[in-house]
Structure 1
Amino acid sequence: MAVPTEDSLQARHAQLQQDEPKLRIRDRALRLGVTEAELVAADCGVTSTALAGSPQELFGALGALGTVMALSRNDHAVHERHGSYLDIQANGPVGIVLGPDIDLRMFFGSWKHFYAVTEHGRQSLQFFDKAGMAVHKIYRTEQTDGAAWDAYAARFAAAQKPEVLIEPFTAPVEPDAPSDAAGLRSHWLALKDTHDFFTMLRQFKVSRVGALRAAGEDLAQPVEADAVERMLTGAAETRLPIMCFVANRGIVQIHTGPVQKLLRTGPWFNVLDASFNLHLNTEAVASSWVVRKPTTDGWVTSLELFGAGGELIVQFFGARKPGQPELEGWRELLQSLSPQALAA
């Protein structure tokens, strides 16, 4: 699918902005029947310059920028983290950033459209996938090395802006129940690392929520809709460090540390700390689960929130590194949310 003619799209966009000035660009794209990448490419509400190069090349050069704000989101959760891109490993189809503040896992196979963007004077680098969905955005801040930012934008600026060809994404359909529930449970109990969970889902050909339903309530049990708000409130009150994972098709963004300032704004429950913001649309959460997995470091417990289509919105863990056991305070907090005893 090609971009609609620039004049017509810009005119429609300008009218929509006039009618509903508070709409964000993601929602404006949805209203107009186009993608966010198409709006950016057509300079609808922004000024953009296409960036040339592979996502690996573009990511490999981010370390020079200094402190920025990294943003990754899906339909129902937005994860913002201030810091620097350090320990960047982006040479293959999967990349990682392992700084103490910005912690990412990138899956470059779906990345395609890249831009330097200015919107109301605010500068950003924006990365979109083949379907025109925003994968990751990087915002310039007062702490950013301005000269390095300008040099980066100049270095990767494309000679001309290419046409945006959109490749629609079709999510794979996964069964809601495993054909061998007993085998799934046995495999689950034999896990050594939380990263092996996805491999298990593929092996048993089941959706994530389907696996949770089948595993047994000692391993996965549904909890009340307000569990996430109660968990974040409890973590803030006790200064308990947590891990927060928000993902889309192309990236996982992780915060590790305490949370402090919590605020509800309509359907959105927010963490509004100096270096970390989370915006979570709790009205979009169809189910919440406390999940326990065995590892070589002992049991690891998570709170996982899902949308109506079974899509994972956000995951929370207690802060930990490989080789360390789970924080007892985190385990106790999640057990307090759970109606049944968890595996021990």
Structure 2
Amino acid sequence: MRRVVAMALALLLLLLVGVVAAYLLFLNHTLTANVKHQSLLPTPGVSGAAAPPARKAAAKDAQNILIIGSDSRTTVAEGRSDVIVLMHVAADRKTVTLVHFPRDLYVSVPGHAKDKINAAFAYGGAPLLVETLQNLIGVPIDHVAVLGFDGFQKMTDAVGGVDVYVEEPGSSTAYKYHKGYQHMDGAEALAFVRERHALSEGDISRGRRQQAFIKALLLKSLSRSVLTNPVTLARFVDAGTKNLAVDNGFSVADMRSEAFSMRNLRSSDIAFVTAPFTGFGTAPNGGSIDIVDEPGMQALGEALQNDQMSTYTDQTHTP
């Protein structure tokens, strides 16, 4: 009898391993089939692109991943860059900092003099935006991910909605937003992050909304309710990758490894800041701009270069 029980348990274990392996293969197939790999990082010497800044020894294995939200209705990596967020993952993988760069930030764009930072994406796509940012903060950008807005909405619905912290209450055509945490489905979240004209600081306020939403979605995607639910996880992976383009060096294995390394993150481990600016102004062509805080930008760059963003966010009193 014991031999029969042992054989039954062994068979059950074999079946379980087979199911898990098949599921992992399915997820891997989804990632491989959906994710688009493109030339999103600048190639030194091509179109005048310079080599990226040298990585400082203090940074160790910290990662800087540029997240671009595109409103394109055609190719993902085209259109305007309405979301520009640099995700700094600490070397010990215990903290993540989301740095929002307002799209009207007035900076030097290689080959195009000074302009709004999102003009870099319009002029030369992700590679020129990466080069612009690397010149601005002096840190190499390791990877780039461009996600169409439709992808944000579908990812949110795939995990059953997200709980977003609303800093500034307000309303859109179809929704009302109250101060504090608010559960949002995909359509509501998309309206939340797109609004700017009704907000107190326009694009700056919208940037804080985008950070709050990205944080909520990141936490939900790494939660036990998603990671341990095969159906939910499969839907999330499919939704998130159908409208996703990444740089050619960001392999599926790298993405899986990076996500796994951040599985223990909690809300308090994720901070968000806005790239420093001193106020608002008008460009020579008459457009509204955000004026860079030069000393503040230097301090941000040094914190990123030396993997000291935890100290930086403490000093800047970010939420």
Higher relative strand content = 1
Same fold (TM over 0.5): no
Range of TM-score over shorter length? under 0.3
Higher relative helix content = 2
